A and B are shown apart, each in its own frame.
Chain A
Amino acid sequence: MHIPDGFMPMWESILFWIISLIFISKSVLWAKQNLDEKAIPLFAVLGAGIFAAQALNMPIPWGTSGHLVGAALTSIVFDSPWAGVLMLTLILIVQGLFFADGGILAMGANIFNMGIIGGFVGYYVYKSLKSINSFVAAFAAGWAATFLAAIACAVEMAVAGTFPIEQGLMFMGLYHAVIGILEGIITAVVVEFLKSVKPETLKSESTSLS
C-alpha cells in the first residue's frame, strides 16, 4: 500500500511528513535509551529480511496481490512500537529513494500508515492477547496492523479526493482484510521461530519469564 506521489495534494503530504517526523524522532529516542548493542545484528538482519519479503507479492482473490509490511513483527520482536516505526522508516526510505516504491512526498503518509499505525496496532494487539496464546496474538497483531493501516490509507485518499470514501473503505478494507491474513501468518511464524532459536531476543517473552 505504498502511496505514490500524485495521489495526494501537497498540503496533505507535508502534514503527514510533519506528523511522521515527530514519531520518527521519538523512535530515535527509543533506540538511544533501549536498543542494546547485542540487538544490532537482529535489527539489521530483520530489516534485510522484511525488505526482501516485501518484494514477494502474494496473490489474493480479485486479481490483486499483497505483501508483508513487517511493522507488527518488528514491534513484537523488539518489544516496542517504536522499533516498528524506526524499521519501517528505514525500509521506506530505501524503497522510495532507490526503487520508486512509494513517492518521496507521500513518504510521510506511508511511514504513518505502515510504520506508525502498523507498529502501534501490532504491538498493542500482541500485548493484549499474548497471555491467551502468543501464536494467536502475533497472528492477530499482523492482521490488525495491515487492516487498520489500509483503513487509514483509504481515509487519507478520501481526504485527498482521490478515492470516494465509501468505496475506498470497502475496497481497501476488503483487500487488506485478506492480505492481513498473510501478514498475520508470517508474523506469527517468524515470532515463534525467533523464540525457538534466540529466546533472549524476544524481550517481551524473557521479561515475562523472569
Chain B
Amino acid sequence: MDSKKLIIGGLAIAIILSIAAPFLASPNPDGLESTAEKIINEHALENNLQQVGLEEEGTLAPSPMPDYTIAGMGKIGEILSLIIGTIIVFALAYGVSFVLKKPSAN
C-alpha cells in the first residue's frame, strides 16, 4: 500500500470516527471519573484545587473547545471539534516525525 492511499484511508477512518463519536459515544463517566464519584476525598480535592487556583477540577490551560464542544453549536460543534482535533494531531504527528526522522542512508 503506498503512502497516499494509507493517508487517505486512515484519515477517512478517523473522520468517520469523529462524525460518529458524538452520536455513539457512551455519555457515562470514564473509569477515573466513576472512581472519583464514588471515593474522592473532598477535603484533599479542595486543598489541591485551591493550590492550583481552580474552582473545580479541569485544566489551567485555556481550552478553545472544552470537552470537545464548540459553544452554541451542539452536535455539529462536537463533530467539528473532533475533526479539527484529528487534523491537528495528524499535522502535529506528521510535522514532528518529519523534523525528527533519521537521516536517510544516502
Within 8 Å CB of A7, what residues of B?
36, 45, 48, 57
Provide a sorted-by-A list of 13 A–B residue pairs whose CB atoms are within 8 angstroms: A5-B52, A6-B57, A33-B102, A35-B97, A35-B100, A41-B94, A98-B63, A100-B59, A100-B63, A100-B66, A163-B40, A164-B39, A175-B34
Which 5 interchain pairs have the tightest Cβ spacing? A45-B10, A47-B93, A175-B31, A6-B57, A44-B94
Q: Among the listed stretches A87-95, A118-126, A202-210, which one makes contact with chain B, having 4 or more residues with CB under 8 Å of it?
A: A87-95
Within 8 Å CB of B66, what residues of A?
99-100
Alpha-carbon gap, A205 to B31, bound state (A): 33
Within 8 Å CB of B21, what residues of A?
52, 55-56
Mark A79-117 against chain B: 1 for CB-CB distance below 8 A, else 0.
Answer: 000000011001101111111111111100000000000
* Chain A, interface SS category: helix
Whether A4 contacts B20 by the Cβ 8 Å rule is no
State whether the Cβ of A19 lies closer than 8 Å to any Cβ in chain B. Answer: no
State whether the Cβ of B74 lies closer than 8 Å to any Cβ in chain A. Answer: no
Within 8 Å CB of A105, what residues of B?
52, 59-60
Whether A48 contacts B93 by the Cβ 8 Å rule is yes
Whether B48 contacts A96 by the Cβ 8 Å rule is no
Instruction: Give the interface centre of B14, B35, B85 by most chain A CB atoms within 10 Å.
Output: B35
Whether A39 contacts B97 by the Cβ 8 Å rule is yes
Choose from A47, A59, A153 the contact partner of B26 (Cβ within 8 Å): A59
State whether the Cβ of A66 lies closer than 8 Å to any Cβ in chain B. Answer: yes
